Structure 1
Amino acid sequence: MTTNEASKQVKRYYHVWRETNIIYSDWAKKHGISYNALLILYSLWNAKYYCTQKMICDQWMLPKQTVNTILKDFEKKELVAFGPTPYDQRKRGIRLTDVGIEYAQNVIPKLMDLETQAMEKLGGDRADALIENTALFIDYFKEGMDHE
């Protein structure tokens, strides 16, 4: 592939990547929640026992202030509770309350079902190729960063 062709493919890839973010944002708005709040709710829903603010920030690359603001809003709505983590009493863990579980249950499983349906429509080979090629792109990008 020539440099010009590769440049066009990068633009095409990032267009698709942005479209993915846009459809998630649109889906979130349709369900009465912001995109960032959806990501945080997704983390809390999938956390086994607890989550920390740092874990959420690291998972989604969100600024600490953004996560903190959304969590404070969730706390006002009684969706989350804060307390020490089971493994380190110094860290403040976050968990969904019963109200939060009920709220998340009306949002996150719907999203996960939609994601699963889309992946099923791709089929096993295309889904594997999507994941493998994205992982390979990441590996090559990291490799390039190491040689800068």
Structure 2
Amino acid sequence: MTVESKTRAFCNAWQSISMIYKDYARRKGISYNSLYILNAIQQTENRRVKTIHLTEKGMQYADTLIPHIHHADRLAMEALSEEQQDELIWLMDLYVSTCRRKMLGE
């Protein structure tokens, strides 16, 4: 495979993951952006996320959606060996940081 075809394959895979989240949001009757925000709120390790407080009803609603995402993500990761998991994370971090530098000059 050429670099161009590998880049397309990687971007297609990345976009496929985004489409899975978009399809899940649509099935639950919310926008992708709403799902993204609800998921970010529950990701306490993400320090870039600003503090947002949901009402009790909002928390209950998020609790009907987000655990399914985390469970599916965990099962997908568990399908990989520990070495593959580490390599995937390392490569994604490298790709994202390089892409950010090249695209945004950061």
TM-score normalised by length of structure 2: 0.79
Counterpart CA distance in 1 for 2:38 and 2:55 is: 12
Match of 1:111 in 2: 69
Question: Which one has the bigger helix percentage?
Answer: 2
Match of 1:15 in 2: 12
1:95 is paired with a residue whose SS is coil
User: Between Structure 1 and Structure 2, how many residues are aligned?
Assistant: 103
1:14 is paired with a residue whose SS is helix
Structure 1 residue runs of 4 or more that deviate by more than 6 Å after TM superposition: none
Structure 2 residue 29 is the aligned partner of structure 1 residue 32 = yes
> What is the aligned counterpart of 2:89 among 131, 134, 138?
131
How far is 1:119 from its partner? 0.7
Alignment of 1:70-81 (within 5 A): none
Counterpart CA distance in 2 for 1:41 and 1:100 is: 9
Q: Which has the higher contact order (CA 8 A, sep 6+)?
A: 1
Match of 1:120 in 2: 78
How far is 1:104 from its partner? 0.8
Match of 1:99 in 2: 57
Alignment of 1:50-65 (within 5 A): 55=49
How far is 1:141 from its partner? 3.8
Distance 1:128 1:96, change over 3 A: same
1:122 is paired with a residue whose SS is coil
How far is 1:44 from its partner? 2.3
Deviations 1:26-79 (A, max 9, x none): 11112222111100111223359xxxxx946xxxxxxxxxxxxxxxxxxxxxxx
2:30 is paired with a residue whose SS is coil
Question: Which one has the bigger strand percentage?
Answer: 1
TM-score normalised by length of structure 1: 0.59
How far is 1:144 from its partner? 5.0
Q: Which structure has the greater CA radius of gyration?
A: 1
Identity of aligned residues (%): 29
Give the root-mean-square deviation of aligned CA atoms.
2.7
In the alignment, structure 1 segments of 5+ residues that lack a partner are 49-53, 57-92
Aligned-partner residue type, residue 70 of structure 2: M
In the alignment, structure 2 segments of 5+ residues that lack a partner are none
